[in-house]
Structure 1
Amino acid sequence: MKQKLFRCLPFAVAALLIGGTAQAQDQPASAPLNTWSIGINGGVLSPISPLGGKNDFSNWKSNFGYGLYIKKQFTPYFSLRLDGVRGKLSGDNSEPYESGLLPNNGVGAFETDLSYSGSLNAVVNMFNIDMFNKNNALQLYASAGAGLAGYKVKTGAASSSLTPYANDKTISELIVPVGLGAKFKLSDKINLDLGWTVNFVDGDNLDGVYKEGNDKYSYAYGGLEFSLGAGKQQLAWHNPVALTYDEALKAKQTANALKAEVDAQKADNARLRGQIDDLLKDSDDDGVADKLDKCPGTPAGTVVDGSGCPLKTPAPVEKVIITEADRRVVDEAIKNLEFDLGKAVIRQKSYATLNRVAALLIEKNFSLKLAGHTDNTGSMALNLRLSKDRAESVKAYLVSQGANASRIEATGYGPNQPIATNKTAAGRQANRRVEFTLF
């Protein structure tokens, strides 16, 4: 058993190093967290355990012990720690048990030199004190593992007359350490470590007395742990619960901000629709808005001019001939046509070329089809409404300049007839348009 453990320990250490290297590669470069640390400690070694069993000597003594360890933190809650401890254990029968009896073991005192004690331990942080604090200052942990202890024992009738036990050979036994501890963060790189470990020995020769029961010894210690690495924070103090909570708060704040922005846009669109409806209101349904109708209340079916008044004489039917010059007037108007962002309000820079289109319609009595188009940004309903409103806005402007409303048709197609891709800003700009078709 001991030989197998000797063989496994180098592999365990290698696994610790390889696992640390792999995890270090996974750490985000923007905010590295330190995962390696070393610790030194000192405390009290005693040949007893409060976890059960009887002591071979009635009077156990406390002796100074010291140790060091190297630790690899894999998650905020789990790490592997390689511990080493040295010191002395001693006891005698100078005082009786509580029952008043003295041990009958033929030995009056012992002293054990703990030459080495090495173990690989799994350490679990049981909980963080504040789950909403990103980096805590106090942790409680538990540990358990396995290792080897090497020691030499002296026995005798009294503490002053001890002689080597087992020919003064170093005895090696398997140990199983189980412990509890508390850790306090003193700074970003230094922790105060307080702990207590009970070591169960796979043998009954720790004190030189055999009583058909394995021996145990305790180590209560205090020490300092030093974080290794370039990062400012230690993974052991890192609290993913708090980070998740912060991210949830940020997401909620972002969602609230977006909702407020959408509500403001809806209110702005509703106000715009009201203005357009008021501008395009046509009570007598003659194709001329009330604001521009100089002859309100004309009977249904009456042919009116651009001012809403009945035509006295019908215009003679003429063959429509559209020249290249006419098309250039329309093309220039299309190129210069601009609206306010997300609205159907025509910008002033577009008036001059639209005026020339209106003059052309009046002069040659052309008919004109206005087709509004948008890109695919936003909902289908909003895009259909916006494309229709923009086409109607152009019609209203041309009519205001004297064009015949009955010869102008305004239609909105939304995003349904793109002329370019909607995956690029240039493509979306090309798709936001109002097409003019003379006939």
Structure 2
Amino acid sequence: MKTILTAWAAGMLALAVPFTGAAQTNTPAGTTTTSSAGIFNGTKDFKTWSIGVNGGLLAPVAPTGGSNDFTKWKASAGYGAYVKWQILHSLGIRADYTGGKLQGDNSKELGDGEAPNRAYESFETSLKWSAALSAVVNVATINWLYKQNFVQIYVSAGAGLAGYSPKVTPANGNEMDYKPDGSIKELIIPIGAGLKFKLSDAVNLDLGYTMHYVDGDNLDGYNYGPNRDKYSYGYAGLEFSLGPTHKPQLAWNNPAKVMYDELLAQKTALQQELENTRSANTRLSADVDKLLKDSDGDGVSDFFDKCPGTAQGTKVDGSGCDLPRDTTPKVTVVKQVTEEDRRIVREAIQNLEFETGKSSIKPSSYASLNRVAELLKAKGFSLKLAGHTDNVGTEANNMRLSKDRAESVKQYLVDRGANPSRIEATGYGESQPIASNKTAAGRQKNRRVEFTLY
């Protein structure tokens, strides 16, 4: 039996450990404390510690297990105190202390109507102390529809140790100590229930009843039968919550109601935000329509149009008004090519020489080409360059070489400031000879770039 009770005590304490860890990890850092604490903010917004004092009646009996080894039990005064830590809305850990006196005798007749034939007439046990650690669970609340309840029903179970000194009185004898050399210490298992009323934010009325099962048959100083002894304590007392006055007690906070109110508030806020968004979208759509509307079709919206009613197709400026018309008469300037201009071009043609088989212009040609570039810049003439070769080599190579040489002359003139859009460079290869390719002199004449000024 002692092994079973020890295992029960270890199990009750083990059950409290995970709940304690869960309560510690639920508290987010860096949040502010308010009196209207929310369920998602952890326990730091609540008062979780409390102390209690009580007084009541002790009796060597329990509703589940009956009386001890004497046929009649008597109720005696008892007292107690406790410290409680509320780790969740419905779970707390409580350390209890209980003291008082237990009494009983064999004056009650047995079931057959005869006086019991027992070795002892009565007993009196001084319960010097009992200390227990229990888990306290709130199993029901009377005020379920409100955030802060005012009535609780709770149950408790745990384990502890009791120290007591029994005295027994033999039949027709003197009272004597059951254990003259000192007090007895035994493991106890307390199981209880109670009803708690909230008197204020700091004080609760606590009405409870706890049965204590002793791991021994020596509470009344007499070992009679196989059952272990037990005692019960019915009490009334006051519980005082510890902590700042603006914080509510965690045990009285109704998590379901708080959750409902928070979700309702979130729903209302979301509905308001949605309505605000719809209103903003309506205003935005109206503003967009206003910005895009163009009644006269001139490409400028009515919002910016300073000249509404412009005829369709009329060119307007950014404000929607007609663009100013240029009434200045146009003067056509006819450019004439003079004999001097032709002479400059002829000299450039006569002096133009390329590296053999290449499109690179020899430096001896630069001076006359510079005069052509100045002429083009000064008078804005256009120039057509036509490249030609002799028939030495393949036709494809000659076509490429003639085109490259014409382009080379164009690039030279452009580098000296001539307008590239007024210069056309074309290659004709060996297709347009001006002399016979059978002689060196004829081939020399055919290797040329013709300049046409206009």
Q: Same fold per TM (> 0.5)? A: yes
Q: CA deviation at 1:159?
A: 9.7
- 1:87 maps onto 2:100 in alignment: yes
Q: Give the residue type in structure 1 aligned to 2:76.
A: N
| 1:236 paired residue among 230, 251, 254 | 251
Quickly say closer, same or farther: Cα 1:214–1:315, change in 2 above 3 A. farther
Shift of the 312–186 alpha-carbon distance from structure 1 to 2, 3 Å rule, reads closer
- Cα root mean square deviation, aligned: 3.9
Matched, 1:122 2:135: yes
User: By how many angstroms is 1:161 displaced?
Assistant: 4.3
- The Cα shift of 1:51 comes to 0.8
Tell me the residue number matched to 2:56: 43
Structure 1, unpaired ranges of 5+: 319-439
Conserved 8 A contact 1:152-1:168: no
Distance 1:251 1:160, change over 3 A: farther
Instruction: Tell me the distance in 1 between the aligned counterparts of 2:237 and 2:102.
Output: 20
Which letter does structure 2 place at the counterpart of 1:188?
A: D
Counterpart residue type for residue 36 of structure 1? W
Distance 1:295 1:91 in 2: 116
1:172: how far off? 1.2
Call closer, same or farther: CA 1:23–1:310 in 2, change over 3 Å: closer
Q: What amino acid sits opposite 1:200 in the alignment? A: Y
Task: Measure, in 2, the Cα distance between the counterparts of 1:34 and 1:155.
Answer: 47
Q: Deviations over 1:383-407 (max 9, x none)?
A: xxxxxxxxxxxxxxxxxxxxxxxxx
Please report how far the alpha carbon of residue 244 of structure 1 lies from its aligned counterpart in structure 2 after TM superposition. Answer: 2.3
Does 2:235 correspond to 1:221? yes
Structure 2 Cα separation of the partners of residues 71 and 138 of structure 1: 18
8 Å Cα contact 1:110/1:159 also seen in 2: no
What is the percentage of aligned positions where both structures have the same residue? 42
User: Within the alignment, does 1:133 sit opposite 2:154 as a pair?
Assistant: no
1:136 and 1:238 in contact (8 A); partners too: yes
Tell whether the 8 Å contact from 1:39 to 1:225 is kept in structure 2 after alignment: yes
1:259 aligns with 2:262: no
Matched, 1:207 2:210: no
TM-score, length basis structure 2: 0.57
SS of the residue aligned with 2:208?
strand
Match of 2:287?
272
1:348-427 to structure 2, matched below 5 A, reads none
Q: What one-letter code is carried by the residue in structure 1 that aligns with 2:238?
A: L
Look up the match of 1:112: 125
CA deviation profile, 1:113-141 (whole Å, cap 9, x unmatched): 11111111111122333344222211111
Match of residue 260 from structure 2: 245
Q: What is the CA distance between 1:70 and its match in structure 2?
A: 1.4
| Partner SS state of residue 87, structure 2 | strand
Question: 1:155 touches 1:208 (CA, 8 Å); kept in 2?
Answer: yes
The residue aligned with 2:39 is none
**C-alpha distance in structure 2 between counterparts of 1:183 and 1:223, whole Å:** 10
Which SS does the other structure have where 1:172 is aligned? strand
Q: CA offsets per residue over residues 333-378 of structure 1, 9 Å max, x none? A: xxxxxxxxxxxxxxxxxxxxxxxxxxxxxxxxxxxxxxxxxxxxxx
Indicate the residue corresponding to 1:338 in structure 2: none
Q: Once the 2 structures are TM-superposed, how far is the Cα of residue 65 of structure 1 from its aligned partner?
A: 0.5
| Cα distance in 2 between the residues matched to 1:111 and 1:223 | 25
Displacement after TM superposition at 1:160 (Å)? 8.7
CA contact 1:92–1:108 (8 Å) conserved in 2: yes
Residue 87 to residue 160, structure 1, CA distance change in 2 (3 Å): farther
- Distance of aligned partners of 1:87 and 1:309 in 2 relative to their CA distance in 1, 3 Å threshold: closer
- C-alpha distance in structure 1 between counterparts of 2:80 and 2:299, whole Å: 97
Alignment partner of 1:188 is 2:201: yes
Aligned to 1:345: none
Q: Are residues 171 and 266 of structure 1, via their aligned partners in 2, closer, same or farther at CA, if it must alter by over 3 Å? A: same
Task: Note the C-alpha offset of 1:213.
Answer: 1.1
Structure 2 gaps of 5+ residues are 35-44, 332-454
Distance 1:159 1:83 in 2: 39
Shift of 1:182: 1.3
Mapped partners of 1:175, 1:98: distance in 2: 30
The number of residues matched between the two structures is 301
Residue 189 (structure 2) pairs with residue 173 (structure 1) = no
Give the 3-state SS of the residue equivalent to 1:130 in structure 2: coil
2:155 aligns with one of 127, 142, 146: 142
Deviations 1:3-41 (A, max 9, x none): xx8xx99xx9xx99xx79x95995865244222211111
Q: Indicate yes or no: 2:43 matched with 1:30.
A: no
- Corresponding residue number in structure 1 for 2:352: none
Matches of 2:238 and 2:323 in 1, distance apart? Answer: 100
Partner of 1:431: none
> Aligned residue for 2:429?
none
Label 1:70 to 1:295 Cα distance change in 2 as closer, same or farther (>3 A).
Answer: closer
What displacement does 1:303 show?
5.2
CA distance in 1, matches of 2:232, 2:169: 23
Q: CA deviation at 1:239?
A: 3.0
Give the AA of the match of 1:96.
E
**Contact 2:193/2:209 (8 A) holds in 1:** yes
Paired AA for residue 251 in structure 2: A
Q: CA offset at residue 217 of structure 1?
A: 0.6
Structure 1 residues 102 and 268, CA gap change in structure 2 (3 angstroms): same
SS in 1 for 2:62: coil
Deviations 1:39-70 (A, max 9, x none): 11110111111113454222211111111111
Question: Per the alignment, do residues 46 and 286 of structure 1 end up closer, same or farther by CA in structure 2, a change over 3 Å counting?
Answer: closer
Checking the alignment, whether the CA contact within 8 Å between 1:91 and 1:109 is kept in structure 2 is: yes
- Separation in 1 of the partners of 2:70 and 2:315? 123
TM-score, normalised on structure 1? 0.59
The match for 2:85 is 72
Structure 1: distance between partners of 2:103 and 2:181:
16
**Aligned-residue offset at 1:206:** 1.1
8 Å CA contact 2:92–2:135 kept in 1: the answer is yes
- Match of 2:108, SS state, is coil
> Could you tell me whether the CA contact under 8 Å between 1:113 and 1:152 is conserved in 2?
yes
